[in-house]
Amino acid sequence: MLALCDCNNFFVSCERIFRPDLNNRPVVVLSGNDGCVVARSNEVKRLGIKMGVPFYQIQKEVAQYKITHFSSNFALYGDISGRIMRTLSRYTSELQQYSIDEAFMDLSHLPDSATMRSQCLQLCTDILKGIGVPVSFGIAPSKTLCKIAADYAKHYAGYHGVCTIDTEEKRIKALSNIPISDVWGIGRQSAAKLKGLGINTALDYANRTEPYIHHILHQPGVMTWRELNGIACIENSDLPLKQSITCSRTFAHPVTNRPQLEQALSTFCDHVAHKLRSQHSVCRQMVVFAHTSRFNEDTRSIQQTLTFTVPTANTRELTDALLRTVRVQWQEGTPFKRAGVIALAIEPDSSVQQSLFDTRDRARDNRLQHAIDTINDRTGKHSLTYAHQLADPNSTPLYEIGSKSPAYTTNIADIITLKC
């Protein structure tokens, strides 16, 4: 049996830890440049505000219902996530973090479902009391069923935060109420195809035969079918990698000189490369772009798709290619307002196809990158960095709408001051 720990409204919950006055009040967290809603409190959900809606479209609701809005504070969210994962790791011999607010736990060491439920209930209490974030648990024999169970635990108060699917009767009842479009592993196009074939719920899907599912959705669809029938077949290596990783910003002031633009893009490239390494993957392509404001009469841009003979996640290699592109396409005096880096063609780092004509000393590059990552993990983010990434005030992100909360747990200057 497995358990999925899922943090409830995670970004909002993190903001509320240090702002208890926001409990039971509507709160949203906005995307990197305050463009869209990326997290909503339950109060906001009840108002009918959808995930991903552009913030400018809900100005009327914000004023009418006094919705508090924050810019994303990933330093805070990442630290709180780490605290939750460390707490979970004390209760299991195998913990697999799936996202910033989700992790799978192996509960096979516990004797029965009642004990599993009791332990997860205790974890709900410990995490809420010790960290301040409400969590839900889904317990089931497969990862896909765990996702479904966690969804029930989150949305129905009667489960008290823990839902267990441990019998055939519970499995059938749970699947009968889940739309096929909400099943983990079923994409939008696949869901539309299945609905056209009369498969509207997870139970409809699970009740079809394996050869039928293989015919319409091939092997990935068969894995989901088996998981819904209680057969665990999704290993850690089977969990999907991100298909693209993007880091982009709108500058507070237009960037008109090349060193500033190179600094910004190098920093974005380092962030993307770190994300790749954290999920044990590499990229074969990278898009580099910089644009002037779309309101300018004379719009200009730098844009190039870079292809690597050998897929990589090495910051130095990616940055070298990026800088060559900027220096070739640079136009003096151009006021660039937005820039970014996108990693594409992502694949696991365990199966990299080498090139006979590769001239880089990859073993040396990897040792250097590992040393840099180790030092930064021990002494703090960006303690050791490349010269091109030196901070410059003119390339800071633009936060005009939301208010970014302090980094309460990662910056000594932002520690809360108590008044007696």
Q: How far apart are CA 260 and CA 257, in angstroms?
A: 6
CATH of domain 1-166: 3.30.70.270
- SS3 for the chain is CEEEEEECCHHHHHHHHCCHHHCCCCEEEECCCCCEEEEECHHHHHCCCCCCCEHHHHHHHHHHHCCEEEECCHHHHHHHHHHHHHHHHCCCCCEEEEECCEEEEECCCCCCHHHHHHHHHHHHHHHHHHCCCCEEEEEECCHHHHHHHHHHHHHCHHHCCEEECCCHHHHHHHHHCCEHHHCCCCCHHHHHHHHHCCCCEHHHHHHCCHHHHHHHHHHHHHHHHHHHCCCCCCCHHHCCCCCCEEEEEEEEEEECCHHHHHHHHHHHHHHHHHHHHHCCEEEEEEEEEEEECCCCCCCCEEEEEEEEEEEECCHHHHHHHHHHHHHHHCCCCCCEEEEEEEEEEEEEHHHCCCCCCCCCCHHHHHHHHHHHHHHHHHHCCCCCCCHHHCCCHHHCECCCCCCCCCCCCCCHHHCCCCCC
Question: Are both 1-166 and 167-235 of the same fold?
Answer: no
Longest Cα separation, the chain: 70
pLDDT values of the chain reduced to their tens digit, one per residue, 420 residues? 999 999 999 999 999 999 999 999 999 999 866 778 999 999 999 999 999 998 889 999 999 999 999 988 888 998 999 999 999 999 988 899 888 899 999 998 999 999 999 999 999 999 999 999 999 999 999 999 999 999 999 999 999 999 999 999 999 999 999 999 999 989 889 999 999 999 999 999 999 999 999 999 999 899 999 999 999 988 765 565 567 888 888 787 888 889 889 998 998 999 999 999 988 899 999 999 999 987 777 888 999 999 999 999 999 999 999 999 999 999 888 999 889 999 998 888 887 888 888 888 888 998 999 999 999 888 877 788 888 776 554 444 444 444 778 888 877 788 888 887
Q: Which burial class, exposed, middle or buried, applies to 168 when counting CB atoms under 10 A from its CB (0-12, 13-18, 19+)? A: exposed
CB 55 within 8 A of CB 39: no
* Number of Cβ atoms within 10 Å of the Cβ of 217: 20
Q: How is domain 245-389 classified at the architecture level of CATH?
A: 2-Layer Sandwich (3.30)
Query: What is the per-residue burial (b if ≥16 Cβ within 10 Å, else e) of 111-150?
Result: eeeeebbebbeebbeebeeebebbbbbbbbbbbbbbbbbb
| pTM of this structure | 0.76
Place of tokens 């079918």: 225
167-235 CATH choice from 3.20.20.80, 1.10.150.20, 3.40.470.10, 2.40.110.10 = 1.10.150.20
Q: Please give the Cα distance from 250 to 293 (Å, whole number).
A: 9
d(Cα 415, Cα 410) in Å, to the nearest integer?
8
- Asked if residues 7 and 153 have their Cβ atoms less than 8 Å apart, the reply is no
* Domain residue spans of the chain: 1-166, 167-235, 245-389
Rounded to 5°, the CA angle 364-366-372 comes to 105
- The structure tokens listed for 133 are 């974030």
pLDDT of residue 33: 66
pLDDT score at 237:
58
> Under 8 Å CB-to-CB from 340, ≥6 apart: which residues?
246, 247, 248, 249, 265, 268, 289, 290
Size of the chain in residues: 420
State the Cα–Cα distance between residues 81 and 309, nearest whole angstrom.
Answer: 36
Give the tens place of pLDDT for each residue, 151-160: 999 999 999 9
40: β partners:
28
